[in-house]
Structure formats: C-alpha cells, structure tokens
C-alpha cells in the first residue's frame, strides 16, 4: 500500500489536487516513519480506497506506462517485445494512412462540434421558452436517439443514407435535389458521417437546457427593463451565464469526436467488401489504431498511436483548464472540508 | 482538482432545481409560444422519423425495404421477419449475454464506486487530495491509450475469449461514478454518521446501512448509465470475443450487418429486425428510468 501511495503522488501531483497538497507536499521525509502508526481512521480510509488504488495501478497508471514503454518496441504477441527506439514514431510520420486518418478525424471534429453545439443550443433556447410538461416531452424525444446503440445507429444510417433509395436522398428529391452517394462516394462519406452524428444531440441539449434554466430570471428581466433587445439579452446576459456549460460541451464533444469509432466501424469496416470499395475515406484515427493493434498485431505501433492521441487530448484538457479559468464565468465552488 | 472545474460547475445540484429561469417573453406570449411549439414539433419529426422508418422497414418484405420512404406504416405488412431473425442469428443468446454482462458491469461499478466514494466523503486522511486528484485525472484518460496493455493483461490472465474482460475491470470503481457518489454523500449531514458511530456502528455499517441507502438516487443513475454503456459497447466484444455464442447484441448486430447487408444474398429485413431487437430494450429502460437519465446527464455531463 505504501508503494501505491507513492506512485500516486507522482501521478496525481501533475493533475494538481490543490485541496490537501499543502499537507502532503512537505512530508516527504516524515512519511516512512508515520505509516507504522497511522491513526485507525486513516487505516480504514485506505481500506475503502483500496479498490480504486488497485484499479489505478492495474488498469490505469500501469497500462499507461506500459503502453509508453511498448511504443518504443516491436511487439506482435508471439515473440518478446524488441526495443525499436523511436522507429514507431518515425513510421507514424511517414505512414500515409496516419495522415489520412488524422485528416478525416480532424475534419470530422471541426464540422461536428460547432454544428452540434449550435443546433443543440438552438433547441435548448427554444425549449427554454415553453413551460411545463411540453418541455419535458420534447426533451425526451430529443434524447431518444442517444439511447440507440451506436452499432444500430450505424446500421440505420447505412440504410437512411443509401444513395439510390435512402430516406435522406428521397427527402432531398422532394426539392428536386439529387442527393450524393453518401455511403459509397469517397468525397461524401465524411459528410454522411457528420450528418449521422447530428442525430445525436440529446445529451448536449440537456446540459445546455439545464444551464439555461439556471440563469436567474431577474437578470434577463433587468436587461429587458433597461431596453435590451432579445439578441442583446442573449449576448450580454444568457451567453456569459451559460459559458461554463457551453465550454464543457465543446470539450466533451471534441474529445469524443477525436475518438469516434463504433458507428463508422459498423458502417465501413470489418467487412471485406466494404473495406475495399471505400478506400480510406472513412478511416478514423481510433479505427486505424484498432486495426494496427488487433488485426495486424502491431502492438508497439498501436501504442505509439495511442500515446500521440493521449498527448493531444491532454493538451486539449490543459487548454480547457487555462482558457476556461480565464474566460468562463464560474460561481464560487467549494466542497472539500 | 482544477482539471474538472467545468464539470463541477455543470454538476451543481441546483441543476435539479424546479424550472424557474424559463422566462417566457411577456411581450409576445401567445404567438411566440405557437411559433416555438411549431419549431419543436418539426425538430421532433426529424429526430423520431429514423425510428419510424426503421420499425416500418423491418416489417416489410425485402424487395419493399426502400419503397414508400415516407409512408409511416408497413405495406405490405410482414411481421414474419421477426420470426425469421431469431433463426437467422442467435438473437436470444445475444440478448441474454447482453443482460448478464450489462448487469454484472453495472453492479460491479456501482458498488465499488460507492465504496470508494464513501472513503473519500467520510474520512479525512493524509493524501486524500492527491488520491482524489488521481480520480479526476483518469476521467481525462482516453480509453484508447490503455487498450493494448489492458488486452495484454487479460491475455496473460488467460481470460481473452471469455466475457470476463467485458465487466471485471469495473470492480475497481470508475472515476465518473466515484465523483458523482462522493458529491452526493458530501450532502449528507455528518452528524447522521457520527450518531451511528456513537451507537457502536462499524465503518462498514456506516457504508452499508447509511451511505448506500441514502445515495439510492445516485446509485440508480450510476447503474443505468453503466448498463447503457455496456449495452453500447462494441470495441471490447470485438477485441475479446471470438465465439459467436458469447457475443453481446452490438457485436452480434455487427456480425449480422457484415453478413447480410451486402454481398450476394442481402437480407435487409433481417438486419433491420435485428437492429430493432438490439435497440428496443434500451428504449424501454430509458422510459422506466427517465428522470434518472436526465438528472444524470445534467450532473455528470455523461452521454
């Protein structure tokens, strides 16, 4: 247990627990002597924390470090891992499929996140203008797509987006528009995926709707009395008041977009015919990682891919902390005792 | 701790407060409301129609799958598709597997997270801030990073090819639920616990007899979210299961679509009926536990 606690302070220190760090920081020397005579209550506390500490070492921190080590090796499950230096990272730089996967994933994220949030905010704003039961009913309807397993979503949109006879193109046809081959034309596959992703706005809408409901009514009313129009009230009162929720949904949508897998894998991968005919138009980063790891058993290369993804997501999280603390309006928030 | 400030602020209990900020514009109440209702109704049609199409198409013969795309009932009506789907694929086995794995995953994560959360909420001890920091830090850890080593662990344990890796990782608690349950337990007045201590209750009693029953709503949220997550999971079954008899529904549906969507002999009606079978139980669970879902999303921001 002593060992885990030590590892923890290394891992957790970076994440920055500011509550008790004061106590923990200065005690480097004293700790060894103290463990022997922990207060009984402290010992009990660690009993309750034990599952977490074991899981942390076994399934979080341990695997993270292991994948860092593996990323510098060649490992195919059969022989022992062989040290390969930075070869995997060098290979990433030259692998055209990595470039394609990053391009697709970034483009998808840049399209999905703003569109999803603008649409969800619009829905939440409209929901906030009606009262009572109706709002709850609509909220339920908007959330239903999010209860559909991603594999089923992928299957469903394979049919809906069918270029010859799908509902989407039939709808476009009503307006005399000849819809593209969403699921087979490499130039349109990514757009089809974005369209599919916009069906799942439920949780973003619910978070923004909850934030809107917390905007104190006095504020909007005061602004109205001061002669502010609807747009000014939105810009000057509502938007700042929901900025933390807005910022939060931007971050979680970005992070989950970068890890897109299920729907796209269902539609375009794992099936020989599909995989050949669409080229790499639907190749997302995590799909490529998955293929490298579990189809080609390139465990070292897959680990390098995983660590690059981890660093990108860590940077995004860091930006969240930095920019978020500066730009977002928070109310005072204090829990620790 | 800073790392999650946006979460904590989305989390604040007030989100559950009764509707109060919903300020209808007094100026344009009548016409405004009609307009807003119309917009919402139009949006509802867009969100619901894919479900309607799915169910209708699954009840039609194969050569009519794509016919009459806007007709909201099946012509001709062919409910036999739902008999055929059980023969074409072991749907019932997959359904049972999904329920078993889902309940195991949800129970494991709920109980272990509550156990750990009680440790964080009740005790004061050196290192608490740092260890809680580790909980928050893992929330940011993308699952893809640990994919390979986690596989190697289960492989070394000889458990690949079984359903164990699909749920056993949940025995050690999960950051989101620990966070949620700790927040919840911090709201319990301390004297409730102290009084029981004075009466001679052990710490396990405090957890089992007081903390668990009091955090029931949060436990239900954790349970149904994890059940949903398990029901959605495609990647773990893809990695760990080879034997179709062990598949869960998403993995099974993936096999069905690979086999029957394209190729020489497409059976679209089977693919569609299998999709409905995969989705319907979750929709039912959603309606049963709806308020917990809404609360859970508003408080944890989980999807």
pLDDT one-digit tens code per residue, B36-59: 999 999 999 999 999 999 999 999
User: Which candidate, A7, A13, A15, places its Cα nearest to that of A62?
Assistant: A7
* Burial zone of B275 (CB within 10 Å; 0-12 exposed, 13-18 middle, 19+ buried): buried
- Architecture of the domain spanning A91-327: Orthogonal Bundle (1.10)
pLDDT one-digit tens code per residue, B84-98: 999 999 999 999 999
Count of A-B CB contacts under 8 Å = 410
pLDDT class for B23, splitting at 50, 70, 90?
very low
Task: Find residue A74's DSSP bridge partners.
Answer: A82
Q: Is the pLDDT of residue B279 over 60?
A: yes
Q: Is the pLDDT of residue B220 over 70?
A: yes
pLDDT of residue A282: 93
pLDDT one-digit tens code per residue, A29-64: 344 444 556 788 889 999 999 999 999 999 999 999
Q: Are A203 and A145 in contact, with CB atoms under 8 Å apart?
A: no
B121-159 exposure pattern, b = at least 16 Cβ within 10 A, e = fewer: bbbebbbbbbbbbbbbbbbbbbebbbbbbbbbbbeeeee
Taking contacts as CB-CB distances below 8 angstroms, the residues of chain A near B120 are 48-49
Q: Which residue has the tokens 């997302």?
A: A284
The domains found in chain B, sorted by start residue, are: 87-300 (1.10.3720.10)
pLDDT class for B232, splitting at 50, 70, 90?
very high
3-state DSSP of A24-90:
HHCCCCCHHHHHCCCCHHHHHHHHHHHHHHHHHHHHHHHHHHHHHHHCCEECCCCCCCEECCCHHHH
Contact of A329 with chain B, judged by CB distance below 8 Å, is answered with no
Do B186 and A70 make contact, defined as CB atoms within 8 angstroms? no
B20 closest CB neighbour out of A47, A213, A309: A213
| Phi, psi (degrees; rounded to nearest 5) at B22 | -70, 90
Residues of chain A with pLDDT under 70: 1-37, 272-277, 325-337
pLDDT one-digit tens code per residue, A250-291: 988 999 999 999 999 999 997 766 566 677 899 999 999 999
B301 closest CB neighbour out of A14, A207, A261: A207
Q: Are B180 and B221 in contact, with CB atoms under 8 Å apart?
A: yes
Interval B89-116 mean pLDDT: 97
pLDDT of residue B136: 87
pLDDT of residue A230: 87
Q: Could you give the dihedral angle defined by the CA atoms of residues B135, B139, B140 and B144, in that order, rounded to the nearest 10 degrees?
A: 120
Q: Which two tokens stand for residue B252?
A: 């099974």
pLDDT of residue B226: 95
Q: Is the pLDDT of residue B265 over 80?
A: no
pLDDT of residue B211: 94
* Burial zone of A311 (CB within 10 Å; 0-12 exposed, 13-18 middle, 19+ buried): exposed
pLDDT of residue B141: 80
pLDDT of residue A224: 87
Distance from CA of A327 to the nearest CA of B (A): 12
A155 closest CB neighbour out of B133, B147, B253: B253
Q: Name the residue in chain A with its Cα closest to that of B298.
A: A207
Do A217 and B21 make contact, defined as CB atoms within 8 angstroms? yes
ipTM computed for the complex: 0.87
Q: What residue ranges do the domains of chain A occupy?
A: 2-70, 91-327
Distance from CA of A335 to the nearest CA of B (A): 8
Q: Are A182 and A166 in contact, with CB atoms under 8 Å apart?
A: yes
Do B9 and A331 make contact, defined as CB atoms within 8 angstroms? yes
B144 closest CB neighbour out of A53, A139, A259: A259
Interface-testing mutation among B14, B34, B40, B51, with chain A (most A C-beta atoms within 10 A)? B40
Look over chain A and give the mean of its residue pLDDT values, rounded to a whole number. Answer: 84
Three-state DSSP at B20 gives coil
Taking contacts as CB-CB distances below 8 angstroms, the residues of chain A near B302 are 203
CA pseudo-torsion sign B66, B68, B73, B75: negative
Distance from CA of A32 to the nearest CA of B (A): 13
Cα separation, A326 vs B178, in Å, equals 28
Do A45 and B239 make contact, defined as CB atoms within 8 angstroms? no
pLDDT class for B11, splitting at 50, 70, 90?
very low
**What is the distance of C-alpha B61 from the center of its chain?**
33
Cα separation, B259 vs B267, in Å, equals 9
User: Which candidate, A254, A257, A274, A256, places its Cα nearest to that of A266?
Assistant: A274
A244 closest CB neighbour out of B9, B178, B239: B9
């Amino acid at each position: 247990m002593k060992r885990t606690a030590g590892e923890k302070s290394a891992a957790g220190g970076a994440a920055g627990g500011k509550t008790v760090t004061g106590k923990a920081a200065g005690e480097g020397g004293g700790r060894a002597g103290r463990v022997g005579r922990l207060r009984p209550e402290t010992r009990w506390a660690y009993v309750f924390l034990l599952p977490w500490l074991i899981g942390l070492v076994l399934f979080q921190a341990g695997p993270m470090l292991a994948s860092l080590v593996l990323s510098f090796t060649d490992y195919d499950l059969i022989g022992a891992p062989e040290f390969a230096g930075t070869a995997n990272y060098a290979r990433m730089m030259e692998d055209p499929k990595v470039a394609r996967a990053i391009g697709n994933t970034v483009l998808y994220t840049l399209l999905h996140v703003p569109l999803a949030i603008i649409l969800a905010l619009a829905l939440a704003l409209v929901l906030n203008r009606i009262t009572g039961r109706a709002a709850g009913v609509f909220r339920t309807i908007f959330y239903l797509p999010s209860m559909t397993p991603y594999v089923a979503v992928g299957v469903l949109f394979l049919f809906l987006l069918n270029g010859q006879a799908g509902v989407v193109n039939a709808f476009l046809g009503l307006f005399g528009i000849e819809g593209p081959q969403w699921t087979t034309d490499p130039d349109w596959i990514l757009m089809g995926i974005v369209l599919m992703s916009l069906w799942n706005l439920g949780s973003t809408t619910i978070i923004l709707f909850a934030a809107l409901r917390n905007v104190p009514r006095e504020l909007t009313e005061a602004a109205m009395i001061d002669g502010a129009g609807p747009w000014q009230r939105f810009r000057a009162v509502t938007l700042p008041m929901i900025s933390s929720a807005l910022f939060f949904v931007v971050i979680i949508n970005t992070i989950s977009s970068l890890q897109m897998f299920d729907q796209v894998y269902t539609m375009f991968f794992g099936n020989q015919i599909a995989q050949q005919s669409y080229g790499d138009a639907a190749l997302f980063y995590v799909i490529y990682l998955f293929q490298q790891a579990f189809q080609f058993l390139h465990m070292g290369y897959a680990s390098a891919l995983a660590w690059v993804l981890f660093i990108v997501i860590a940077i995004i999280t860091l930006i969240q902390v930095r920019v978020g603390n500066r730009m977002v309006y928070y109310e005072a928030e204090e829990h620790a005792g | 701790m800073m790392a999650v400030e946006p979460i904590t602020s989305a989390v604040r209990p007030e989100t559950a407060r009764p509707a109060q900020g919903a300020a209808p514009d007094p100026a344009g109440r009548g016409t405004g409301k009609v307009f807003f209702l119309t917009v919402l109704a139009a949006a509802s049609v867009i969100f619901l129609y894919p479900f309607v199409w799915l169910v209708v198409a699954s009840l039609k013969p194969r050569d009519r799958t794509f016919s009459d795309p806007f007709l909201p009932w099946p012509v001709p009506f062919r409910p036999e598709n739902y008999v055929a789907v059980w023969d074409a694929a072991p749907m019932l086995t997959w359904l049972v597997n999904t329920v078993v794995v889902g309940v195991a995953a949800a129970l494991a994560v709920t109980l272990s997270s509550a156990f750990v959360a009680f440790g964080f909420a009740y005790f004061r001890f050196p290192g608490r801030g740092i260890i809680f920091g580790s909980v928050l830090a893992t929330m940011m850890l993308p699952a893809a990073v640990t994919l390979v080593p986690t596989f190697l662990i289960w492989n070394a344990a000889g458990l690949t090819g079984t359903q164990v890796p699909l749920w056993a990782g949940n025995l050690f608690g999960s950051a989101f639920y620990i966070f949620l349950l700790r927040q919840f337990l911090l709201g319990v007045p301390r004297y409730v616990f102290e009084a029981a201590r004075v009466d001679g209750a052990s710490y396990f009693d405090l957890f089992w007899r007081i903390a668990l029953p009091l955090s029931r709503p949060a436990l239900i949220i954790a349970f149904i979210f994890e059940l949903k997550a398990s029901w959605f999971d495609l990647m773990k079954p893809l990695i760990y299961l080879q034997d179709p008899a062990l598949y869960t529904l998403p993995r099974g549906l993936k096999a069905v679509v690979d086999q029957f969507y394209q190729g020489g002999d497409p059976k679209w009606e089977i693919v569609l009926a299998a999709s409905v079978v995969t989705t319907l139980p979750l929709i039912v669970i959603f309606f049963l536990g709806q308020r917990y879902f809404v609360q859970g999303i508003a408080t944890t921001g989980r999807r």
